[in-house]
Amino acid sequence: MSVNTKNIRNIVLLGHSGSGKTSFAETMLFESGALTRMGNIAGRNTTSDYTSIEQERGNSLFTTLMHVKWRDCKINIIDTPGFDDFIGEVIASLKVSDTALVVLNAAHGVEVGTEILWEYVNEYKTPAIFVINQIDHDKSDYDTTLEQAKERFGPKVMAFQYPLNQGASFNSIIDVLHMVMYVFDQKGGKPAKMPIPANEMPKAMQMHNAIVEAAAENEEGLMEKYFDKGTLSEEELTEGLRIALAHQQIYPVFCCSATHNMGSGRIMGFINDVVPSPADVPPFALVNGKTMNYDAKAAPSIFIYKTISEPQVGLVSYFKVYSGTVKAGDDLVNLKNGTHERISQVFEANGKLRNTIDYLQAGDLGVTLKLKNSHTNNTLNAKGLNLEIDPIHFPEPRIDTAVSPPSKADMEKLIKSLHQIEEEDPTLGIVQSASLKQTIIHGQGQLHLDLIKYRIEKVYGVQMNFERPKISYRETITRAANESYRHKKQSGGAGQFAEVHMRIEPFHEGMPNPAGLTVKNIDVEDLEWGGKLAFYWCIVGGTIDAKYSSAIKKGIMQKMLEGPLTGSHCQDIRVSIYDGKMHAVDSNDMAFMLASVGAFRSAFKNAGAQILEPIYDVTITCPDTAMGDIMGDLQTRRAIIMGMDSDGHYQKIKARVPLAEMYQYSSTLRSISQGRAKFTRKFAEYVPVPADIQQKLISEHKEEEDE
């Protein structure tokens, strides 16, 4: 079903988990004829939730690409997860979609998951339509849900429909755009068009006029016609609404029952008539700061927004065509790594089903297989084309855990599997920490990590255990200390001899030279783990040859890798070498390196040694009702509350929290807020740990060393 750019509509389904996005996608597919039978969540047979874990849980955990043909258009549909833990999937889908279809649950109103997603709708400046679903629910409350939407998302939210009778008997929708009433039979499907009842006419007319005014406001010519005639023709109204929607001047609201197939056809009609095509949206952004419009006549360029690995298939790449026409056999160049990729096949997708097609034009979404060196966020161009699409900006991780296999023999297989998933999921981070002696994975939430564990065990066949991650502490000093150390070893023949005298001090930029010493050379090094080492050579009179300075510094660096207190990295220290002794025969680099290790170790413990811990800036967004419990929990985590602000309907708590106290915070926050709060975190700084914790850490490290 290859179509031109003007007739493509790219829709992303957004909403809180349980709002009915997957069911709505299913009814769109059925109503359009893409399906001969509707699946349902309970039956575990929907087109969108086709993976075994989604069917087990009854929730969407991955994005799913589908498409329908409706009248003149091809409508690409991306169903997304409703959990904040999988926000990366949502952001990637928003990147390549031209309109968001936000699904609300009529029985629950506007839920926190929807509000979280709305932030990204605004960030991407995506036109949006609201669909109030589950109008047939016993506790359906359309009016309250509409008012909440207006309260949370602003006055641009505008009803285009409302139900005449909601609840279990729901079968009628009054459409105030077309000024008609749709009446469905028990099976749903195509409704009968009936006149609006006389007692509803004043309300419907008032709502219709508001829509016409909103359409006219965005085009000077239409406003003049509206003033002259008091109304607009159907064509003029459609054009005005298209402009208003594309520029986020209105957010139309429709209603439906997805499970009973009531209302989806009308919404698809609106998508066909009014929703902007890729040809109608603002130009897209390039990495170089410039912008471009979709152009099917230009050289081909595609952007990969999602990659997954499927058993027996290999790497599956989901992409959007940003320029030109892409067909099987095309040779494209990955702009990031310069490798050539041959597009062996081009597919359209409906869930796990993929159909081969001849080509896709600019603005369309498609699938290809077995690209060798290309992954999410890569731009692939025709040779000679230097067009790089602005990448998807994924959020920072919010949760960490250490992982290990049951046996060391499986470690290599586990690491390989994790890195393969990391290539597919940019919101996942894998770090093999030599200093902590752990493999740490960073994710968006506990559900995200649980899904990774499920995939590792079910798909890759490796058992994986979660463990509490160790904290990457730092060690430093608070005062100056002088120390000397002699290394002497005699074992027949040439021995080893070196004596080093050093002063260590806390280092900061702009500090004066060490008192009483003559500085011959200064070497300030930025440490790869943060902080600095300032190495001062202050030898006068040749008591130690300058040729040994590198060996002495190497010994100090070796000890700074594993500090004397807890084996953590040391930072922000000045070391001044001011005296020592050497031997004409027995002195060598190794001897001086060992002497400097001994001197540094002893000096460090006499210099007010201090353990530093990582502190994170944490921002929690929550409803008023959850604030007390959240604040109480933060106090148990040694948090410092930095401030509180209102953010629309929600409150924002800003706090500084030690990383050591953040373990499993995602699960705790979800529990104490009933899933109505979210948080972000960002590294702030290293600060000294309290004295009692420092002593505990030192004791624990000593016990580990003794073992």
User: What is the per-residue pLDDT for 92?
Assistant: 96
Q: Is residue 205 included in any domain, yes or no?
A: no
Within this chain, do residues 428 and 539 fall inside the same structural domain, yes or no? no
Q: Which two tokens stand for residue 351?
A: 């869930």
User: What is the per-residue pLDDT for 77?
Assistant: 98
Phi/psi for 328 (5° steps) reads -60, 140
3-state class (DSSP) for residue 181: strand
CB 106 within 8 A of CB 145: yes
Q: Is residue 109 included in any domain, yes or no?
A: yes
Residue finishing a domain among 592, 608, 624 = 608
Within this chain, do residues 456 and 368 fall inside the same structural domain, yes or no? no
CATH of the domain at 317: 2.40.30.10
CB 681 within 8 A of CB 443: no
Q: Is residue 286 included in any domain, yes or no?
A: no
Counted domains in the chain: 5
Sheet holding 399-404, edge to edge: 429-433, 438-443, 399-404, 465-467
pTM of the model: 0.87
Within this chain, do residues 545 and 627 fall inside the same structural domain, yes or no? no
Which own/partner pairs from 506-509 qualify as long-range (CB within 8 Å, at least 24 positions apart)?
Answer: 506/476, 506/477, 506/478, 506/479, 506/480, 506/572, 506/573, 506/574, 507/532, 507/533, 507/534, 507/572, 507/573, 507/574, 508/572
Give the C-alpha separation, 63 to 669, whole Å: 25
Within this chain, do residues 488 and 418 fall inside the same structural domain, yes or no? no
Q: Is residue 214 included in any domain, yes or no?
A: no
Within this chain, do residues 95 and 166 fall inside the same structural domain, yes or no? yes
For the chain, which ranges sit under pLDDT 70? 1-2, 218-233, 491-493
User: What is the per-residue pLDDT for 227?
Assistant: 62
Within this chain, do residues 168 and 48 fall inside the same structural domain, yes or no? yes
User: What is the per-residue pLDDT for 106?
Assistant: 96
Q: Is residue 211 included in any domain, yes or no?
A: no
Phi/psi for 443 (5° steps) reads -140, -170
Report the amino acid identity of residue 418. L
Within this chain, do residues 419 and 457 fall inside the same structural domain, yes or no? yes
Which is it for the CA torsion 224, 228, 229, 231, positive or negative?
positive
For 454-517, give the secondary structure using H, E and C.
HHHHHCCCCCCEEECCCCCCEEECCCCEEEEEEEEECCCCCCEEEEEEEEEEECCCCCCCCCCC
Q: Which two tokens stand for residue 543?
A: 């008591």
Within this chain, do residues 257 and 184 fall inside the same structural domain, yes or no? yes
CATH of the domain at 126: 3.40.50.300
Q: Is residue 585 included in any domain, yes or no?
A: yes
3-state class (DSSP) for residue 302: strand
CATH of the domain at 416: 3.30.70.870
User: What is the per-residue pLDDT for 113?
Assistant: 82
CATH of the domain at 637: 3.30.70.240
Give the C-alpha separation, 50 to 353, whole Å: 10
Q: Is residue 569 included in any domain, yes or no?
A: yes
Within this chain, do residues 420 and 300 fall inside the same structural domain, yes or no? no
Residue finishing a domain among 445, 470, 495 = 470
User: What is the per-residue pLDDT for 323?
Assistant: 95
Q: Is residue 228 included in any domain, yes or no?
A: no
Within this chain, do residues 600 and 686 fall inside the same structural domain, yes or no? no
Structural domain boundaries enclosing 521: 475-608
Partners of 497 in the β-ladder: 488
Within this chain, do residues 346 and 489 fall inside the same structural domain, yes or no? no
Within this chain, do residues 582 and 631 fall inside the same structural domain, yes or no? no
3-state class (DSSP) for residue 313: coil
Chain length of the chain: 707
CATH of the domain at 527: 3.30.230.10
Residue finishing a domain among 470, 496, 515 = 470
